[in-house]
Amino acid sequence: MRRYLMVSGCALLCVIAMLSYAFAIDITADRITKEGKIMRNGKLYVKDNKYRVEKGGTPIYTIVRGDKGLLWEINGAENTYIEAKLTPALKPWTEEKIFGEVSRKEIGAETIGGHPTKKYEVTVKQGNKNETYHQWFATDIRFPVKIANVNGKWSVEYKNIKNGAPDNVFSLPAKVVLDTMAVPDVLGGH
């Protein structure tokens, strides 16, 4: 009986490990952000719990290291960076569930960038108020390819999604120094 339990436990751990690996995200994508009439092109790199978000039009980019529990915002123009402890609120919205989510309702299905998606209306508690968003979650790659607030003021869409992200994009550049004068502001999760 003891041997049976051990073998069953090991088999269960293997299944969990395989499922975790199967759902691990490893992608590179173009990131298009629209705020009113302003549009910015950037890049997104994701590998497991590491993220790099390049905002486009600015030398400032963010690296999230879930494996270290850290977030770095790098200013390439000044060769400086700030560091913050990673909290769920600071993590980019690259998963189906959004931090602070209080409700989710499926409202349709669309194809975005060649990916079949489920469109959701998601309400998120942010501070003392609730915000409502639309999220298009690609069912084939298990990734949110678009998110927008319901009143159309802003959106983030990922296009040209490709498998694989190079490891070196998740490290601090060699020549940057910690900006001890900067106070990290609350960085947006989207």
Q: How many CB atoms lie within 10 A of CB 150?
A: 12
What tokens were used for 14?
Answer: 């293997």
pLDDT (tens digit per residue) in 120-157: 999 999 889 999 999 999 999 999 999 999 998 999 99
Burial of 54 (0-12, 13-18, 19+ CB in 10 A): buried
CA distance 64 to 84: 10
- Model pLDDT for residues 27-79, shown as the tens digit of each residue: 999 999 999 999 999 999 999 999 999 988 789 999 999 999 999 999 999 99
The residue with tokens 């051990």 is 6
Place of tokens 């975005």: 112
Instruction: In whole angstroms, give the CA distance from residue 33 to residue 62.
Output: 15
Strand partners, 115: 112
Distance CA 120, CA 135 (A): 5
pLDDT number for residue 183: 59
Q: Is the CATH number 2.102.10.10 carried by domain 24-178?
A: no
Q: What is the mean pLDDT of the chain?
A: 84
pLDDT at position 184, please?
A: 56
* For the chain, domain boundaries: 24-178
